[in-house]
Amino acid sequence: MSAEEYKSQGNKSFAAKDYDKAIELFTKAIELDPSNHVLYSNRSASYASLKKYDKALEDANKTVELKKDWAKGYSRKGAALHGLGKYEEAREIYQEGLRYEPNNAQLKKALEEVESGPPTKIFPDDVLVKIALNPQLRPYLDQPDFVEKIQAIQNDSKQLNTHLQDPRIRDVFMFILTGATNPSSGSRESPEPEEPTPKKPDPEPQARDIPEVPVEKSEEELNKEAANKEKELGNAAYKKREFEEALKHYDKAWELDNTNASILTNKAAVLFEQEKYEECIKVCEEAIDVGREYRVDFKLIARAYGRIGNAYIKLERLDDAIKYYQKSLTEHRTPDTLKKLNDAQKLKVKKEKEAYFNPGLSDKAREEGNELFKKNDFVKAVTSYTEAIKRNEKDPKAYSNRAACYTKLMAYPEALKDCETCISLDPSFVKAYIRKAAVEFLKKEYTKCLETCEIALKHDEDGQHAVEINKQMAKCREAIWQSNSSGSQESTEEALKKAASDPEIMRILQDPVMQQILKQSQDDPRALKEHLKNPIVAANIQKLINAGVLRTN
């Protein structure tokens, strides 16, 4: 099936809630079309449905990487982060998605949910441990239905109302609320749940009867609450791109609570949008200092370092940007920051090349190389030609000259590579073909040598290099004749070995038509003359002779 067909089948499996099958189908689609962002988005949703949020996040990151302006990618990423309990990061991702689609209802709803904070748990994660440590409650653990009810309430707090009629659940609830126990059901060593228990009035009040006692909050707590409200107002203004209003709220929040580093990172985001990059850097540095002092989550520190890197990119200070992206990755490694680091490093190399470009100095270095070549100082000549290439990598002459040096130094692979580069820059550069043919001759690749010489003759329109090219071809033919006429077993084996590594020769030998012609020629040599009238067959036969596969003697 095609990628689109796998995608369609995957959507059907997802709709049927067969998420494992959906993942399998989307994976096959991705193998066929790895640049399709929708496929990664769909697989991310499937993983999230199975609560495999780590894998969901990987696919969501890939979705955003492939399609940065697509709101659904940010929705997938935010949902994965939310599922992992990374509420602050999820909030930021939802906000980032809303910058591209401010009216996206799905992102708005998701943002409201994540900003409301993590769901409260009536029974903590270690409630079974607490019950086991309580002598009065411990016997309940021997009753499977009791454990099932506890786990159900842990997974969904709404289940409490369903199970609160069970006196055992009431006992645990009272214990969690007050720390005291007085089991209303009468605990025994191994109680049997089906055995009726005498109904007694509970000495302790029911949970619904416990009066709420107002707790007096300290000034510091009140300030923190007020600071969080100001911060949320700042976030709302930021989403509306009302940056000045956002800054007012963040500054007010910081006055109320100067221990919350996230206020500063949010303020830095506003300054970045306002293109106040120097101020953004200072605020991020302050956020890092405060974060270190109050031991905040290392991910927030990483975010601050990353924002500093982004600001330095805008200021075109690439070394500083690379430095701070690396610091961010040290704190917390994310694909997004890693990509930004790689992009900054590539941009730095490009800028350095552009800054080093100087055709005048390139010509000077090439002339110095020519003088060294005349003195047979080939090693230093290579250095000069390399400098010429660095100064102007589009100059074919420097590559051709360096190829000549490499040939003298018997560095044939390097020489061939420079010849090929020279030809790619200027396909009519005859001297490059001549040098390439010379290297191929030295490597005893006679067929290739002759082919290169023929190309050189075509480009040598004024015949300036005809003598040199014909001389090289004559040497090559003589070498082929000597190889063929020697008739030695060693020469034949060597020729066949070389032929096996030459794709063109192997293509000819494996061609059924050529196989038939060669077989017929062995039985009737006169038939070969007729076949040679066909120019294609003649060319193939000549190549086999040049390669030493066919003997003319």
* Over residues 238-264, mean pLDDT: 93
| Model pLDDT, residue 553 | 52
Give backbone dihedrals phi and psi of 69, rounded to 5 degrees, phi first.
-100, 20
Spell 252-288 as b/e; 16+ CB within 10 A means b: bbbebbeebbbbbbbbbbbbbeeebbebbbbbbebbb
Given a cut of 90, whether residue 379 has pLDDT beyond it is yes
Of residues 260, 250, 312, the one with CA closest to residue 282: 312
Q: Which domains does the chain have, with CATH numbers?
A: 3-115 (1.25.40.10), 127-191 (no CATH), 225-346 (1.25.40.10), 357-426 (1.25.40.10)
Q: For residues 358, 361, 364 and 365, what is the CA-based torsion angle, rounded to 10 degrees?
A: -90
Q: What is the pLDDT, as a whole number, of residue 532?
A: 73
Q: What is the pLDDT, as a whole number, of residue 123?
A: 74
Buried b (16+ CB within 10 A) or exposed e, 153-176: bbeeeebbeebeebbbbbbbbbbe
Query: What's the mean per-residue pLDDT of the chain?
Result: 84
pLDDT digits (tens, 9 = 90+) for 127-184: 888 888 888 888 888 888 888 888 888 777 767 777 878 888 888 887 877 666 555 4
Band (120; pLDDT cuts 50, 70, 90): low
Residue 21 has pLDDT above 80, yes or no: yes
What is the rounded CA–CA span in Å between residue 410 and residue 419? 14
Q: What is residue 490's predicted lDDT score, i.e. its pLDDT?
A: 46
Q: Given a cut of 60, is residue 217 above it in pLDDT? A: no
**In sequence order, which residues have a C-beta less than 8 Å from that of residue 104 and are 6 or more positions away?**
71, 75, 97, 98
Mean pLDDT across 226-251: 93
Residues in contact with 155: Cβ distance below 8 Å, sequence separation at least 6, in sequence order: none
**How large is the average pLDDT for residues 103-130?**
77
Token look-up 């001549």 returns: 434
What is the rounded end-to-end Cα distance, in angstroms, of the chain? 56
What's the confidence (pLDDT) of residue 171?
84
3-state secondary structure of 232: helix
CA of 11: how far to CAs of 47, 69, 83, 221, in Å? 13, 23, 22, 49
Share of the chain above pLDDT 90, in %: 49
Contact 508, 544 (CB under 8 A): yes
CA dihedral in degrees (466, 468, 472, 477; nearest 10)? 50
Confidence of residue 518 (pLDDT cuts 50, 70, 90): confident
- Give exposure, 227-242, as e/b (b: 16+ Cβ within 10 Å): bbebbebbbebbbeee
> Of all residues in the chain, what percent carry a pLDDT higher than 70?
87
pLDDT tens track for 44-83: 999 998 989 999 999 999 999 999 999 889 999 999 998 8
Distance CA 359, CA 357 (A): 7
Task: Indicate the residue type of 79.
Answer: A
464: confidence class by pLDDT, cuts 50, 70, 90 = very high
The pLDDT value recorded for residue 353 is: 83
Q: What is the mean pLDDT of residues 377-381?
A: 94
Q: How large is the average pLDDT for residues 415-443?
A: 95
- Which pLDDT score, from 0 to 100, does residue 209 have? 35
Predicted local confidence at residue 472, as pLDDT: 93
pTM attached to this predicted model: 0.42
